[in-house]
């Protein structure tokens, strides 16, 4: 048996020896996973040269794994493996710090099985939501279709950071997004809107209890095309079924924009619209609801 185990190691060592030092280093870094460090550790031991070259990255991996393991325990998971294999997670009031939220964001790239994430963290600092979004990178949370981040302060800076993450390819399968009560205003929604409009599978969007208003809504549902440009044929919110805007700052002007988008066919799949608690008049809201009913599928 020892000889059988030694054979793959010898072949791996021979294959690695054909690579340059830089290529070996790149391969090692790609295999580093703070939730599952074993592969990188095993790879580093196939040769004395690679072991020496990866001493510093291995120490960083060890430190990262210890921090990730501590975070997993704080979130209520038995170990890193339990989180790595989870399909649905619900984290409510875990007392996460901004640094822990940032670390949680970076784990998005090593959670391939996760499909639904619910986070309620009212105790997070004002930097918490921004740090969480900033931790997300290219390809993060590849299987997540439902993301709820509510009562977690993001602000306009957090919305902008989330938009940047989406632009880098995070959450490619997103269908439901809840950013309720996250202190997102017009500037934040205007930054986020283009990224959301490039998510063709987005079906439900919850933005209630945020101080956003007419400008942000216009950027989301009816952005003006560049001068002289033809109407866009791709993108938009073609599959959006529900838009929740309760207790926002949308006025009659925003309602007119929304009704115009509905009447023009910009939101062809919209079935559910929530406008309770906004400062718009009852007549303005009725106009929007009427437009929703007129073009709702039978």
User: How high is the pLDDT of residue 1?
Assistant: 42
User: How high is the pLDDT of residue 237?
Assistant: 94
Using an 8 Å Cβ cutoff, are 85 and 57 in contact?
no
How far, in Å, are 117, 118, 132, 178, 221 from residue 125 at the CA level?
20, 18, 11, 19, 31
User: How high is the pLDDT of residue 62?
Assistant: 86
User: How high is the pLDDT of residue 38?
Assistant: 76
Using an 8 Å Cβ cutoff, are 188 and 156 in contact?
yes
Cα torsion 171, 127, 102, 85: sign: negative
User: How high is the pLDDT of residue 37?
Assistant: 77
Look at strands 242-244 and 88-92 and give their pairing.
unpaired
Using an 8 Å Cβ cutoff, are 204 and 181 in contact?
no
Angle at 279 between CA 128 and CA 292, to 5 degrees: 95
User: Which of 115, 129, 209 shows the shortest CA–CA distance to 162?
Assistant: 129
Q: Phi/psi class of residue 288: alpha, beta or left (left: φ > 0; alpha: ψ in -120 to 50)?
A: alpha
Three-class SS of 164-181: HHHHCCCCCCCCEEECCC
User: How high is the pLDDT of residue 57?
Assistant: 73
User: How high is the pLDDT of residue 294?
Assistant: 66
Q: Helical H runs in the chain? A: 2-17, 21-31, 38-44, 48-53, 55-74, 80-85, 98-106, 128-135, 155-167, 186-197, 214-221, 252-264, 282-295
Say how many C-beta atoms besides its own lie within 10 A of residue 266's C-beta.
Answer: 18
User: How high is the pLDDT of residue 213?
Assistant: 98
In this prediction the pTM is 0.84
Q: List 149's β-bridge partners, or say none.
A: 119
Q: Cβ contacts of residue 89 below 8 Å, gap of 6+?
A: 75, 83, 114, 116, 117, 118
Q: Cβ contacts of residue 70 below 8 Å, gap of 6+?
A: none
Angle between helices 98-106 and 55-74 (to 10 degrees): 110
pLDDT along the chain (298 residues), means of 10: 46 52 51 75 66 74 90 95 95 92 92 96 84 89 95 93 94 96 96 94 97 97 66 73 98 96 93 96 96 67
User: Which of 249, 241, 293, 239 shows the shortest CA–CA distance to 275?
Assistant: 249
Using an 8 Å Cβ cutoff, are 268 and 240 in contact?
no
User: How high is the pLDDT of residue 23?
Assistant: 54
């Amino acid at each position: 048996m020892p000889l059988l185990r030694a054979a793959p190691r010898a072949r791996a060592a021979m294959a690695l020896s054909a690579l340059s030092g830089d290529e070996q280093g790149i391969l090692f870094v790609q295999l580093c996973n703070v939730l599952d460090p074993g592969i990188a550790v095993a790879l580093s031991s196939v040769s004395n040269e690679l072991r020496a070259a990866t001493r510093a990255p291995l120490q960083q991996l060890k430190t990262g794994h210890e921090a990730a393991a501590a975070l997993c325990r704080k979130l209520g998971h038995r170990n890193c493996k339990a989180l790595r294999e989870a399909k649905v997670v619900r984290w409510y009031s875990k007392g996460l710090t901004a640094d822990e939220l940032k670390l949680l964001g970076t784990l998005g790239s090593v959670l391939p099985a996760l499909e639904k994430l619910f986070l309620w963290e009212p105790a997070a600092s004002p930097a918490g939501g921004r740090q969480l979004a900033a931790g997300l990178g290219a390809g993060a949370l590849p299987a997540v279709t439902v993301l709820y981040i509510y009562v977690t302060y993001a602000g306009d800076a957090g919305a902008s950071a989330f938009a940047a993450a989406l632009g880098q390819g995070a959450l490619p399968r997103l269908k439901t997004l809840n950013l309720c009560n996250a202190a997102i205003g017009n500037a934040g929604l205007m930054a986020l809107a283009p990224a959301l409009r490039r998510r063709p599978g987005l079906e439900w969007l919850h933005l209630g209890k945020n101080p956003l208003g007419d400008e942000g809504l216009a950027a989301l549902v009816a952005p003006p095309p560049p001068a002289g440009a033809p109407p866009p044929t791709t993108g938009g919110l073609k599959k959006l079924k529900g838009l929740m805007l309760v207790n926002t700052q949308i006025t009659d002007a925003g309602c007119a924009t929304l009704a115009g988008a509905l009447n023009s066919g910009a939101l062809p799949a919209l079935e559910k619209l929530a406008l309770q608690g906004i400062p718009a008049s009852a007549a303005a809201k009725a106009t929007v609801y009427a437009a929703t009913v007129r073009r709702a599928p039978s």
